[in-house]
Amino acid sequence: MKIKLKVWRQKSKESKGSFNTYTLDHVSEDMSFLEMIDVLNESLVKKNEEPIAFDHDCREGICGTCSLYINGRPHGPVQTTACQLHMRSFKDGETITVEPWRAKPFPVIKDLIVDRSAFDRIQQAGGYISVNTGGTPDANEIPIPKLAADMAFDAATCIGCGACVAACKNASAMLFVSAKVSQFALLPQGQLERKTRVEKMVAQMDAEGFGACTNTKACEAECPKQIKITNIARLNREYFSAVVSSTNV
Amino acid sequence: MNLDSKIPEGPLAEKWTKHKFNLKLVNPANKRKYDVIVVGTGLAGASAAASLAELGYNVKAFTFHDSPRRAHSIAAQGGINAAKNYQNDGDSIYRLFYDTIKGGDYRSREGNVHRLAEVSVNIIDQCVAQGVPFAREYGGLLSNRSFGGAQVSRTFYARGQTGQQLLLGAYSALNRQIANGKVEMHNRSEMLDVVMVDGKASGIITRNLITGKIEAHTAHAVLLCTGGYGNVFFLSTNAKGCNVTAAWRAHKKGALFANPCFTQIHPTCIPVSGDHQSKLTLMSESLRNDGRVWVPKTARPGLKAKEAVNIPESERDYFLETRYPSFGNLVPRDVASRNAKSVCDEGRGVGSGLAVFLDFTDAIKRDGKKTIEAKYGNLFDMYRQITGDNPYEGPMMIYPAVHYTMGGLWVDYNLMTNIPGLYSLGEANFSDHGANRLGASALMQGLADGYFVIPYTIGDYLSGISYEKVSTDRPEFKQAMEEVNRRINKLLSIKGKKTVDQFHRELGLTMWDYCGMSRTEEGLKKAKVKIQELRSEFWNNVNVVGGSGELNQELEKAGRVADFMELGELMVDDALNRTESCGGHFREESQTPDGEAKRKDDEFSYVAAWQYTGENQAEILHKENLIFENVKLTQRSYK
């Protein structure tokens, strides 16, 4: 396959970026999208040019590190992560545009790499159950209905990549936050801190500058782990019932 | 050098309890006076950092990732073992201990492995309390499955994403301590050296991966929880960032490196598709519960998955079922891998020639497509996405790939290396898996070390040292920083003709060909020369573009590959020294008449711990003899 790539290049957080165009003549359709960039990068190094900086790690769709905005969609045309996207999803001769996540709370660090530490700070605000190591009851002393456990698991599969934010016209992080809030709201272990958790996480989300949710479902359509917006509905319920009785935040 | 494993005296089942009582404690009010550095935030690192902070220590945690949640523990699929005996099928702490010692081909310490089995039950309790959503039965209790050749169902799992859920659990505990101010988290920071003051580990040197700034950090103890070194093979199931640098830097400062040649080759991975391949993807071992492994009886080069249905039963060789009737497709990983290699070496491989079929036709006929989909749906989808083939219609193609490294930094029973104050946890150490790790045991060990071992053992060391803080103004820190800078500048100044990846790929091929699934003296000697040549070429002809004071991924890779080349040579030395076959280490010279691995217990019942002596000098081998008081060493048989 022949591919033309338009890639966002930006030296650092402070500098101005622009698109550079590259042509690749021998792309195999079995390559993953990231392997295609590897090949391009290797050819750039051979020409003494700086390779394209991009975040990636596990390359099996689970670490959530890769964060490419491909042809106007987070992770590209298939609902998966960019590392699990293969070149057979593109046409011979196609021009592909690659950008970093575009959202104010995710500033660009270099080329296609953005700073997603806002997500960590939201989790630090309350995304946990406050138990110390040791002294916990036997695991089977906390029976959990299978349905609740399965639903909690479905929410917990969020990989924290940020595609939901990148997909949203408001750069809302509601899908991400709702996944964690739902996981714990559905489990008996999460009940004791149920109210404070949702209040604190939402407060931190707002402080980071993420936008509001207007239910366009773009996040659900792009989430590589198929996190459902029913979680956002649950987050709203959790949040409202928490704030009306709140003595906390 | 005297290698004291510090395994306590006494009956096996009482060792850990007794030891915990004998360990010295740090008074709760004094814990806040001690600083601990934790490098790596995978299962071992995150659980250790959180648990130590909960106790009151001041923790500084480091990861090269953009977030602690990205560590490669996240990718573990299958599950985590624990001797809960929830299934009433005869499991016990002793049975988990026995299976793990046997599975490791009797090259691990009895005391360590028994402790691992003991604390396994606490891990599950801990994770459930944190809200880890393990699979459950309709009655609300936890579900278990049998995994990786175990005869009991002791594996806890969260669909095919157990590592993810456990890591997110540990990450949540870590986050809580970051919010409490007890953990100072350093993301995108790579450890490039460990610093010793008065013979004790007193800090580390890091590079800020965004600004390139070299920084010094001090502490009273340093924990390396930095994972394995499978990426020495270039292609492996490891994440691209996995590297040996932290452990290797410690090794060069005097920490012994144990059993480096013990690497695990996982039998069920998606085969290589071309030169562009950047990593290999594991398909969970649980697939072997229902999939049947086969190749044609006579060579059919280039046979595709779609054509497999045309091969009649009589012309198929289900080689694992024939050779190992009692375990069949569920033999341990090393055995399954070696057999796949041997049928491919005979020319009977399918696809590219380096692949065998994993066939679900019979399982789908027996249980229905729905049942198979419920069990393996996500894996089948993943397979289809990567290869473009549909495994519901034809068999999968699989081939072994490097997956895990049992070797690592030598540690005693307290998880301390031979350098006082320097600890190593999880895959980064060598301690519990012997020559072969059983499925669902890696998650168990990472969390055992972090949640339930180090919180006890670290106090014994800290209580004996002053809580006065070491200053980064000390000459030892200045010198280490200069050395790190010198190396970075050297890498940037070579400006040769070859890329870092070219060197890495060549190193990987050499390691795979000569120090991979089977090894010979002749091949290993050849590999040693090749690696030495490659290393000297690297330092004269590598091209690292960009500068040091900025985000520079080529520079990061270059430093790691340079370390991999040195490690590769040590792995070869270790494999040469060990003329027996055991576990993942198969020396062709040492096999039984029917081609199985043959141990030499009289000669090699020891841990090979290597001491660095200087640039281009042979390392010194120290032996820690393994003492077996409870199990009888037998040749493993899965027939």
- Using CB atoms and an 8 Å cut-off, which of residues 335-374 of chain B contact chain A? none
Residue of B64, B130, B190 to mutate, interface with A, max A Cβ within 10 Å: B130
- Domain A117-244 listed as CATH 3.30.830.10: no
CA angle B251, B252, B257 (to 5 degrees): 25
DSSP secondary structure letters along B85-140: -TT-SS--HHHHHHHHHHHTTT-S-HHHHHHHHHHHHHHHHHHHHHT----B-TTS
Backbone angles phi, psi at A161, to 5 degrees: -80, -30
Confirm whether the ipTM is greater than 0.90. yes
Contacts of A232 (CB under 8 A, 6+ apart): A174, A175, A178, A213, A215
The token pair that represents B398 in the structure block: 């699989």
- Domain B265-403 listed as CATH 3.90.700.10: yes
Write out chain B residues lying below 8 Å of A204, CB-based. Answer: none
Architecture label for domain A3-110:
Roll (3.10)
B414 and B6 in contact (C-beta within 8 Å)? Answer: yes
Nearest CA-CA distance, residue A203 and chain B, Å = 14
Q: Write out the H or E segment, with its range, that includes residue B177.
A: helix B162-179
Residue B30 contacts A where some CB pair is shorter than 8 Å: no
Between A53, A62, A190, which is nearest B131 by CB?
A: A190
Q: Rg (Cα) of chain B, in Å, rounded?
A: 24
Confidence of residue B374 (pLDDT cuts 50, 70, 90): confident
Domain with CATH 1.10.1060.10 in chain A: 117-244
* B129 to A159: CB separation less than 8 angstroms, yes or no: no
How far is B142 from B136, CA to CA, in rounded Å? 4
Angle between helices B500-515 and B553-577 (to 10 degrees): 20
* A184 to B131: CB separation less than 8 angstroms, yes or no: yes
Structure confidence by residue, pLDDT tens digits, B217-271: 999 999 999 999 999 999 999 999 999 999 999 999 999 999 999 999 999 999 9
Domain with CATH 3.10.20.30 in chain A: 3-110
How far is B591 from B514, CA to CA, in rounded Å? 17
Where exactly are the structural domains of chain B? 265-403, 477-600
Choosing from B207, B333, B348, B560, which is the catalytic residue?
A: B333
Confidence of residue B595 (pLDDT cuts 50, 70, 90): confident
CATH code for the part of the protein at B477-600? 1.20.58.100
How far is B468 from B304, CA to CA, in rounded Å? 67
Looking at residue B540, its pLDDT comes to 98
- Is B333 in the active site? yes
Residue B501 contacts A where some CB pair is shorter than 8 Å: yes
How far is A41 from A53, CA to CA, in rounded Å? 9
Quick check: B147 pLDDT over 90? no
Looking at residue A249, its pLDDT comes to 52
Residue B133 contacts A where some CB pair is shorter than 8 Å: yes
Structure confidence by residue, pLDDT tens digits, A125-156: 999 999 999 999 999 999 999 999 999 999 99
pTM of the entire predicted model: 0.97
Quick check: B636 pLDDT over 80? no
A35 and B356 in contact (C-beta within 8 Å)? Answer: no
